[in-house]
């Protein structure tokens, strides 16, 4: 079996992208799964953006120890670690920027920790698309 996953695009514009991520785990969990693939998006210049900036995250993580979001690079760059229930608005500080380390794609990856059957997450992410 595998975790039951869903990804719902809430908004897809030339400057912003919002997605809702859902998981009901069978205990398998996820490791480095691409949740936002920047090559599939269209940025302000009309082509794929070069990086993402996380502006807002709202989450409800139950049963997992945590859910980790990373920017995909040769050595992934940690964006945020989520647990419990919360909301973070990073717009006042310019957002959580991808440090754009060498290699990789800059996609947003997700990994769960402490996988148990019945664990769930419901995460809403708003990102700004940068050229």
- The answer, yes or no, to whether residue 1 has pLDDT greater than 90, is no
pLDDT confidence of residue 48:
94
pLDDT at res. 86: 98
3-state SS assignment for residue 91: helix
Beta carbons within 10 angstroms of residue 82's beta carbon: 21
Whether the CB-CB separation of 27 and 104 falls below 8 Å is answered with no
> Whose structure tokens read 């090559």?
39
Residue 43: its pLDDT value, please? 93
pLDDT of residue 7: 97
Average pLDDT of span 17-23:
98
40 neighbors 34 (Cβ within 8 angstroms): no
The pLDDT value recorded for residue 74 is: 96
Instruction: Give whole-number Cα distances, 6 to 17, 24, 41, in Å.
Output: 16, 9, 18
Write out the two tokens for 40: 């599939």
User: Do 40 and 53 contact (CB within 8 A), yes or no?
Assistant: no
Per-residue pLDDT band at 127 (split at 50, 70, 90): very high
Question: Looking at 2-62, which runs of residues are DSSP E strands?
Answer: 4-12, 16-26, 33-36, 51-62
Confidence of residue 111 (pLDDT cuts 50, 70, 90): very high
pLDDT value for 46: 94
Q: Report pLDDT digits (tens) over 39-70.
A: 999 999 999 999 999 999 999 999 999 999 99
Give the other-Cβ count within 10 Å of 3's Cβ. Answer: 20
What's the pLDDT tens digit per position in 60-98?
999 999 999 999 999 999 999 999 999 999 999 999 999
């Amino acid at each position: 079996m595998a975790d039951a996953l869903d990804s719902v695009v809430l908004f897809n514009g030339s400057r912003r992208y919002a997605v809702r991520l859902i998981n009901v785990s069978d205990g398998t969990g996820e490791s480095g799964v691409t949740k936002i693939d920047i090559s599939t998006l269209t940025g302000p210049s009309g082509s794929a953006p070069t990086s993402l900036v996380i502006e807002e995250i709202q989450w409800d993580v139950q049963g997992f120890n945590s859910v980790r979001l990373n920017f995909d690079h040769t050595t992934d760059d940690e964006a945020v670690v989520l647990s419990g229930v919360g909301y973070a608005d990073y717009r006042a500080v310019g957002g959580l920027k991808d440090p754009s380390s060498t290699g990789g794609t800059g996609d947003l990856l997700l990994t769960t920790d402490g996988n148990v059957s019945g664990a769930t997450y419901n995460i809403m992410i708003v990102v700004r698309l940068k050229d």
